[in-house]
Amino acid sequence: MPLDLPSYATLSAMITPAIFLTANGSLIISTSNRMSRIIDRIRVLNDQRDSICRGAADLDFKSARVDHIQDQLRRLLSRSERIRYALTMLYVAFGAFVCTSLALAIDVLCGNKLVALPTGLALIGVSLMLASCVNLVREALEAIRSNRLEITFYRDLHQRRIMEGGNVS
């Protein structure tokens, strides 16, 4: 028995949000990976700070190192908040796209009286994806700033060793 044309059109329309779901899912995976890397970096810096503060580390310029670690941890916390907001928006967008697909089916069952519902849900999902992308760009820029500050810190540390006539490798 051939498919009824309106039913086929409905099924086709319900699959359309899958493109957004796929893109959104990719963003969720990559954003979760970014969060994991931030968490790992926080743990490493906390261990370094703890080691320096207990006197277990055989390092020079301990005060400067602790200050640098504190600054890096502050930046990482800020970045993790941006990632958390982005992930939340991405998950809500994912839900909006799933609801869009369901709303399309419900709209057909209601005789096309809910046309604005699936469109509105799709707009919400796309808007949340855009907002999360903007947030992720801002987080990436902060990551680059942190890397530059870390490079500058170690260059300055190297220069301090040279100026004090210390062992420079």
89-135 pLDDT per residue, tens: 999 999 999 999 888 888 888 887 888 898 899 999 999 999 999 99
| Chain segment 61-86, per-residue pLDDT in tens | 989 999 999 999 999 999 999 999 99
Q: How many Cα neighbours within 13 Å face the side chain of 15?
A: 6
| Chain segment 9-65, per-residue pLDDT in tens | 666 666 777 888 999 999 999 999 999 999 999 999 999 999 998 888 788 898 999
Domain limits of the chain? 5-164
The Cβ of residue 15 has, within 10 Å, a number of other Cβ atoms equal to 12
Cβ(162)–Cβ(91) under 8 Å? no
Closest by CA position to 86, among listed 162, 38, 35: 35
Q: Does the CA dihedral 104-108-109-113 come out positive or negative?
A: positive
